Each structure stands twice: as structure tokens, then as C-alpha cells.
Amino acid sequence: MDLVNIPDLVNFFSRFGNEFSYLAVFSTLILCGFGLPIPEDISLVSGGVLAGLGYANEHVMFGVGMAGVLVGDGSVFLLGRVFGEKVLQIPFIAKFLTPERFSKVQEKFSKYGNWVVFMARFMPGLRMPIYLTAGTSDRISFFRFLFLDMFAAAISVPIWVYLGHYGAKNLDLLSTLVRQGQITIFALLGILVLGLVLYFTIKKKRSGK
């Protein structure tokens, strides 16, 4: 995460004032879902910084962050569901999702199933292509997609928002907290994956008896 961009983004959001700072963060997160070249994590941390500086409430900002992430991701999924593989012909989509990349994402779905949607939240470069591909396929319903995406977002979004709030007045501290936050997210993800592997392994052994 490039911390240099956080003050610039905070200044941009703060121009909208207390009342519209939520809308600015919400709109930015939706655009991030469509490939806006601003890391989603930076937008969430910046929203937390806004709260820490008194422009917003940190708990409301967390809700706004979750909503922006889910609306953005859900919109990308529905775009794929409505247009199917024809979505690859839309100019701004074609920049992010080439036919070759589309085929590779389809292979991941065949290999790992719907959990690819969950993992995609932690893979910024592949997030939008995977969500779009999920929409074009019949492998997953919209509500299952939304559930898995919300499950993943519930791990990352609060960490970034509340870290931004806590370190708002000390960017050196925030830099350290962000690095710790990244480690925490991957640690939680690793524990979750390990737990799932153990669960399905035990389940498979019991069913084989």
C-alpha cells in the first residue's frame, strides 16, 4: 500500500465536507470495483483517517466502506451476468480482461470452485476479472457470490477503516499499523484456509468409513 497517496485522497474526500465525505468514499469504492487505478485499501484507510480527523464517524464509515465494496463488486458481477461473454467487447472492460485472462480465470473456477470469489478479495489485480467472470458463468448465483464477498470483506474492511481512524494524526504510526494490518489479514486468511482444509479432510474421512 502506497502511503504517499493517503494524504492526497484524504484531502480530496475532505473537500466534500462532513455531510458528503461518506458519499465521496462510497462512490470511490464503487469505481474501485470497476478498476479505478486507486487501491481499494487506500480508499478504506483514507475513509478511516477522515473519521479520525473529525470529518466522519468511524462506525458509519465502516458501514459505508462495506456498502461501497459490496455494491461495486455486485455491480461488476451483474455486468457479467447480463452481458455474458460479450462483456469482453466493452472497451473499458477489454483493458482489464483479455480473452486469455478470461480463460485463465475460468480455469481457476474449475479447479477451486466458488471459493475463488472469496480469495479474490485479497488479490487486487485479479479481483475485478474474477468477479466479472463469475457473473458470466452459471457456476454461482448472485446471492451466493454476495455472501462470499461479504464474508471476505468482513475480514479486510474493518481492519483498514479502523486502522485509518486510529492512526489519523500520526502518519508514521499509520504506516506501521498498515503493515501490521496486512500481516493480520493474511494471518486470518491463513487460519481460515487451514480450518477449512481440516474441516473438509475430517469430513471426507468420516464419510469414507
Instruction: Tell me which residue has cell 451483474.
Output: 78
The yes-or-no verdict on residue 66 having pLDDT over 90 is: yes
Residue whose C-alpha is closest to residue 117's, from 77, 87, 72, 64: 77
Residue 88 carries which side chain, given as an amino acid letter?
L
CB within 8 Å of 90: residues ≥ 6 apart:
83
pLDDT value of residue 68: 95
Q: What is the DSSP string of 131-188?
A: HHHHHHSSSS-HHHHHHHHHHHHHHHHHHHHHHHHHTTT-HHHHHHHHHHHHHHHHHH
Question: What H or E segment, with its residue span, contains residue 196?
Answer: helix 171-208
* Extents of the domains making up the chain: 6-170, 173-208
Better-predicted residue by pLDDT, 190 or 1: 190
Better-predicted residue by pLDDT, 64 or 180: 64
Chain segment 15-52, per-residue pLDDT in tens: 776 778 899 899 999 998 887 778 888 889 889 988 98
The yes-or-no verdict on residue 69 having pLDDT over 80 is: yes
Q: What is the rounded average pLDDT of the residues 142-157? A: 92
Residue 121 main-chain phi, psi, to 5 deg:
-60, -25
pLDDT category at 3 given cuts 50, 70, 90 is very low
pLDDT value of residue 64: 95
pLDDT category at 58 given cuts 50, 70, 90 is very high
pTM of the model: 0.80
pLDDT category at 125 given cuts 50, 70, 90 is confident
- What is the chain's mean pLDDT, rounded? 82
pLDDT value of residue 200: 67
Q: Distance (Å, rounded) from C-alpha 144 to C-alpha 141?
A: 5
Q: Distance (Å, rounded) from C-alpha 18 to C-alpha 51?
A: 9
pLDDT category at 4 given cuts 50, 70, 90 is very low
